Structure 1
């Protein structure tokens, strides 16, 4: 069986460097090299996980993303992660949290790209608190 792993997830951006800095700040990914004007790659600390590649484009984002990231906080809670994203410059787009504590929050990064923040592994009972 031949597998084709995902190497990068590419995001169009007006300012690739600024958008990459936002995502470095909220994911813990690293910027591998000095960015040039047109593209910036950030990489995860885990081997074999895809990087995020930000490419300069002139056009504006006008509709909902066809592909988006789902973020599951490795520590803490979903709500704490939402607060960290807000402090870093994201905004809430749609709030799907329920009174029982289930659900997710759809957010937008500084250039309007949607992403979701899910409950953490601890909140899902997948790891010990």
Structure 2
């Protein structure tokens, strides 16, 4: 037997606004009953496959999160995805790209939660 991931939970000051931002990043939809001001908001996994992303309102946060999301471009390259995310309001925290094409870029969402953008599967295959 094994467990399955039901959802990944993200602590937030404003769950609806942050979930809306991530919906644009991931091309996901908010749950039908989510409205501004709710203490939680859910990004539903496409087709019910994979974990949902649950954004919950928290008071004071203590310390850095124990994990973060690693993303790659569904289409295109890491660099075009980083540019798209910056246009949506993400900020670059650290650039870990290497001259050989490997590496990643660390970004932060509008509330400062860090995530990484890695090379796309096509980029990894081309360098193999």
- TM-score over 0.5 for the alignment? yes
| Per-residue Cα deviation, 1:3-60 (whole angstroms, up to 9, x for no partner) | 2100100001000011001100010111122315100000121543001000011214
Instruction: Specify whether residues 103 and 21 from structure 1 end up closer, same or farther in structure 2 by C-alpha distance, changes over 3 A only.
Output: same
Compute the TM-score of the two structures, normalised by the length of structure 2.
Answer: 0.90
Judge which range, 105-114 or 36-45, deviates more. 36-45
> Unaligned 5+ residue runs, structure 2?
none
SS of aligned partner of 2:22:
helix
Counterpart for residue 48 of structure 1: 49
> CA RMSD of the aligned region, Å?
1.5
Q: Does 1:106 align with 2:111?
A: no
Instruction: Specify whether residues 68 and 38 from structure 1 end up closer, same or farther in structure 2 by C-alpha distance, changes over 3 A only.
Output: same
For residues 1-129 of structure 1, the aligned pairs below 5 Å read 2-36=1-35, 37-60=38-61, 63-125=63-125
Compute the TM-score of the two structures, normalised by the length of structure 1.
Answer: 0.89
The answer on whether the counterparts of 1:38 and 1:56 sit within 8 Å (CA) in structure 2 is yes
Distance (whole Å) between structure 1 residues aligned to residue 98 and residue 57 of structure 2: 37
